[in-house]
Chain A
């Protein structure tokens, strides 16, 4: 897959010599795409590397399922974190908020016997209030987010310990555990996939529906652009892209169907990714986030309500942290005082590996997810080959540094060209 991408990248800009404007424009678009797609190429390379090192174990049905489920809460956090980083802020408190929301849900469900849907709702509201608290200090009081959330990191950890009475609380109701750790029921039973063995029909159908939705929406977007007489990819390139995307989705889905069914957290994550991608790409709110991070003064002088946008970003982060907290606690079947330790660092690293810029204004939800998955694959792959944890840490640290160094370097080069 990577070799195909590389080849097409290399031939396109050089090959189009005589016809001036169209070829020029598409070459420009392609080189921009190359910079943005560096992260996906890196992801593919890392998968190939660890597939070889683990002799295929990495991509086995059970392992794919494990990677998804084990890292889902980091990915949920990464979605909120990338938005905050795009706006030029940071949130160091998410790990503590994960612990606190896990603790709140545990107290509600286990100690107070509140019905689980109500308990989850209350927990999400608590997350929103925590976010509102931090958002107030950052947006309206004007304290740098670094300080506010550093304080939050301590305060919310302290509240966690208070709520839990310094001990773990569990076990959780079955429904909550299923949500965080379980799989969709195989209502329609299994089908045979020849040499691949049996696979869950529901999962396969969901996968096909997802592929249909991806291709359909891309097709509609393309038709819309044609309607407005805007440049679009050639039909061949479009078909290739769609085929590649479908293939990736189908491979993952088939492997998941062969193991068990769809993990519930994957369903949740898919909804979050699609929803937040739409918000960042097409919503006014999303556009305002980029405008604020790109040039705060210009955003203010364009009439954007900077304070309100910043405030709601932190509220959003609080809610997502609560979701992650519930998933994490449900997975362990216990809310513990040390839950979520250093999750903020993983989420921040995911965002930066995924292409966020240090000074804000740049980043994508899908990029942050990819960044999170890169770290997940490194974690998982290295533990499969039995590497000790210090090596895992070392490798992850270097990958983070390399990703940001690449971003800074690319920017400096672009700046040198422009000025």
Chain B
């Protein structure tokens, strides 16, 4: 169904010999057979990428498909030797030892999280690590003059001595590009450059990229915004599950957004999900008109006017791309653990409740298992039993004193029922595999005896076998009458697991589909829908 498109033969990388390919098109960059392994996970598998000189090349893929990893390999963040495969830049084989090394070759990456130093001026930021000096001292006149020239090139009308924190995110993005230009960039990599920008800033940025292309600067842009890609990119490479799927020539193929979506999701659902017959009861939790503002930019609504309903025994999915506001929605609901200016109404069992702290959320029977279990979920230097008991220590204590034996017993019960593979509940959680750590997190929240379980990326970084176990546990929890909200970036996972799926985009709930009507294509349309 998603077979080879009518792509130009030369743009399918890795099929022809080097000489042949190079002869047919002028490639500034070729990455061949890139494989990158993290402990327990293959992030990239035999990935190929060929970028023509002077084009804007988009890379598309779902969250976790491996786009950012690929760019980190390219820019030397993961130095030569930590991956397999080869990189040819401008016809030369390259073995980058670090970011500075790749920058010397003219490859500059601009990360999603901007790396400006907030208290330094625009000019100082542009020449950070690359200072304009005279006899060992900074030449301020030259610094500011050259900075002003660069700012004009990127179309930013700001005084170079303004502090970086005093300009908006969109302008900061332009400063990053000016910084790249100061390094004599030849290949500019932008990771989700417009994710945090408003429409006007986005349009300006894309125009700037076109202008740079005309000056001969090649760009690689990672983006979720398919309309932008369709508008600006000359070629698009689609990555899925750490593999290259295809490269589309955007000028020749008349590629539509739907065409890209089908490449991004094209994957059949094998028997990776345990069968489940839901018994759905009455409503347990309903939120209405939920709005959350960013703690760093108080005027930006990360979630706006969202509403959803969870019912007893039902597994509900929440789909969305990076930055859609899913985690922010969940965490703000969970005792206002995220965001400022949180507004909206929450109903539990039909009655409106107020949740001001995590403690109150737990008391109301709400549990939230975080997407980043190492940073936010577990105390990695403690053992299993102390992690399992952490959120409901009161149940094990009398008058402030913990019954350690009871704690051991409870944790051992979870070890057996959840099949946590560890010699004992006194094993340190930091030394468990990802799947077993996730089971500890789930145990911790199940022990709080919740009515509503919010599971944020419950299978991230977990191998396939453990995923199946987690799915089974989730099904069992639903059968016990708990309402479950699963946030996941893997659409097949949502389709295989959930009874009903909401889609989010740019802070809004853009769609809701029952299992029978949900397809990856339809969800992806909702997930990429911009503001109406």
Q: Which residues of A contact B (CB under 8 A)?
A: 21, 24-25, 28-29, 224-225, 227-228, 230-231, 281-285, 287-288, 290-291, 294-295, 297-305, 357, 361-362, 414, 417-419
Residues A282 and B359 in contact in the complex (CB < 8 Å), given A287-B386, A301-B377:
no
**Residue of A with least CB distance to B393:** A284
Point out the residues of chain A lying under 8 angstroms from B401, CB to CB.
282-284
Of B28-36, B64-72, B240-248, B402-410, which stretch is located at the interface? Answer: B402-410
Point out the residues of chain A lying under 8 angstroms from B359, CB to CB.
303, 305
Point out the residues of chain B lying under 8 angstroms from A297, CB to CB.
375-376
CA–CA, A299 and B361, complex, Å: 14
SS class, residues of chain A in contact with chain B: helix
Taking A357-B381, A419-B39 as known contacts, 11 extra A-B pairs with beta carbons closer than 8 A to each other, sorted by chain A number, are A24-B423, A29-B426, A284-B402, A298-B375, A298-B377, A301-B337, A301-B358, A303-B362, A304-B390, A305-B359, A362-B381
A interface footprint on B348-369 (CB within 8 Å = 1, 0 otherwise): 0000000001110110000010
CA–CA, A389 and B499, complex, Å: 75
> Min CB distance, B263 to chain A, in Å?
34
Residues A287 and B376 in contact in the complex (CB < 8 Å), given A224-B405, A301-B370, A418-B430:
no
Q: Which of B370, B391, B427 has the most CB of A within 10 A?
A: B391
Give 3 closest A-B pairs by Cβ, nearest first. Answer: A294-B379, A302-B391, A228-B405
> Min CB distance, B343 to chain A, in Å?
22
Residues 264-304 of B at the A interface (beta carbon under 8 Å):
none
CA–CA, A329 and B423, complex, Å: 52
Residues A298 and B386 in contact in the complex (CB < 8 Å), given A224-B405, A282-B402, A303-B358:
no
Q: Does B378 contact A (CB under 8 A)?
A: yes
Point out the residues of chain B lying under 8 angstroms from A287, CB to CB.
386, 390, 393, 402
CA–CA, A297 and B400, complex, Å: 23
CA–CA, A284 and B398, complex, Å: 9
CA–CA, A278 and B337, complex, Å: 32
**Residue of B with least CB distance to A21:** B423
Of B334, B405, B431, which contacts A417 at CB under 8 A? B431
Sample 21 A-B pairs with CB under 8 A, ordered by A number. Answer: A24-B423, A25-B423, A224-B405, A225-B405, A228-B409, A230-B408, A231-B424, A284-B393, A285-B400, A287-B386, A294-B381, A295-B380, A298-B375, A300-B358, A302-B358, A302-B444, A303-B359, A303-B362, A304-B390, A361-B381, A419-B39
CA–CA, A236 and B401, complex, Å: 30
CA–CA, A72 and B406, complex, Å: 37
Point out the residues of chain B lying under 8 angstroms from A303, CB to CB.
335, 357-359, 361-362, 391
Residues A291 and B379 in contact in the complex (CB < 8 Å), given A282-B401, A301-B370, A303-B359:
yes
Q: Are B431 and A299 in contact (CB under 8 A)?
A: no
CA–CA, A290 and B382, complex, Å: 9
Q: Are A227 and B405 in contact (CB under 8 A)?
A: yes
> Min CB distance, A375 to chain B, in Å?
26
CA–CA, A161 and B203, complex, Å: 66
Q: Are A284 and B357 in contact (CB under 8 A)?
A: no
> Min CB distance, A100 to chain B, in Å?
31
Q: Does B42 contact A (CB under 8 A)?
A: no
Point out the residues of chain B lying under 8 angstroms from A228, CB to CB.
405-406, 408-409
Q: Are A230 and B444 in contact (CB under 8 A)?
A: no
> Min CB distance, B379 to chain A, in Å?
4
**Residue of A with least CB distance to B409:** A228
> Min CB distance, B299 to chain A, in Å?
23
Residues 21-78 of B at the A interface (beta carbon under 8 Å):
39
**Residue of B with least CB distance to A281:** B404
CA–CA, A61 and B370, complex, Å: 58
A interface footprint on B413-454 (CB within 8 Å = 1, 0 otherwise): 000000000011011001100000000000010000000000
CA–CA, A228 and B408, complex, Å: 8
Q: Does B167 contact A (CB under 8 A)?
A: no
Point out the residues of chain A lying under 8 angstroms from B381, CB to CB.
294, 357, 361-362
Point out the residues of chain A lying under 8 angstroms from B361, CB to CB.
303
Of B402, B405, B408, B423, which contacts A283 at CB under 8 A? B402
Q: Are B431 and A294 in contact (CB under 8 A)?
A: no
Q: Are A300 and B390 in contact (CB under 8 A)?
A: no
CA–CA, A414 and B380, complex, Å: 12
> Min CB distance, B151 to chain A, in Å?
36
Q: Are B400 and A284 in contact (CB under 8 A)?
A: yes
Q: Are A295 and B405 in contact (CB under 8 A)?
A: no
Point out the residues of chain A lying under 8 angstroms from B184, CB to CB.
none
Q: Are B358 and A25 in contact (CB under 8 A)?
A: no
Residues A298 and B390 in contact in the complex (CB < 8 Å), given A24-B423, A282-B402, A418-B431:
yes
CA–CA, A362 and B408, complex, Å: 20
Residues 1-17 of B at the A interface (beta carbon under 8 Å):
none
> Min CB distance, B275 to chain A, in Å?
33
CA–CA, A302 and B382, complex, Å: 15
Point out the residues of chain B lying under 8 angstroms from A224, CB to CB.
405
Point out the residues of chain B lying under 8 angstroms from A304, CB to CB.
390
Q: Which of A231, A295, A357, A362 has the most CB of B within 10 A?
A: A295
CA–CA, A362 and B380, complex, Å: 12
Of A21, A25, A284, which contacts B397 at CB under 8 A? A284
CA–CA, A37 and B362, complex, Å: 38
Q: Does B142 contact A (CB under 8 A)?
A: no
CA–CA, A383 and B386, complex, Å: 45
CA–CA, A39 and B121, complex, Å: 50
Point out the residues of chain A lying under 8 angstroms from B423, CB to CB.
21, 24-25, 28
**Residue of B with least CB distance to A304:** B390
Point out the residues of chain B lying under 8 angstroms from A418, CB to CB.
430-431
Point out the residues of chain A lying under 8 angstroms from B431, CB to CB.
414, 417-418
CA–CA, A228 and B358, complex, Å: 32
Point out the residues of chain A lying under 8 angstroms from B376, CB to CB.
295, 297-298, 301
> Min CB distance, A300 to chain B, in Å?
7
Q: Which of B361, B376, B386 has the most CB of A within 10 A?
A: B376
Q: Does B394 contact A (CB under 8 A)?
A: yes
CA–CA, A282 and B406, complex, Å: 12
Q: Are B379 and A298 in contact (CB under 8 A)?
A: yes
Point out the residues of chain B lying under 8 angstroms from A283, CB to CB.
400-402
Point out the residues of chain B lying under 8 angstroms from A24, CB to CB.
423
CA–CA, A224 and B404, complex, Å: 10
Of B358, B380, B404, B424, which contacts A294 at CB under 8 A? B380
> Min CB distance, A415 to chain B, in Å?
8
Point out the residues of chain A lying under 8 angstroms from B368, CB to CB.
301
Q: Are B390 and A299 in contact (CB under 8 A)?
A: yes
> Min CB distance, B78 to chain A, in Å?
15
Point out the residues of chain B lying under 8 angstroms from A298, CB to CB.
375-379, 390
CA–CA, A24 and B422, complex, Å: 12
**Residue of A with least CB distance to B397:** A284
Point out the residues of chain B lying under 8 angstroms from A300, CB to CB.
337, 358
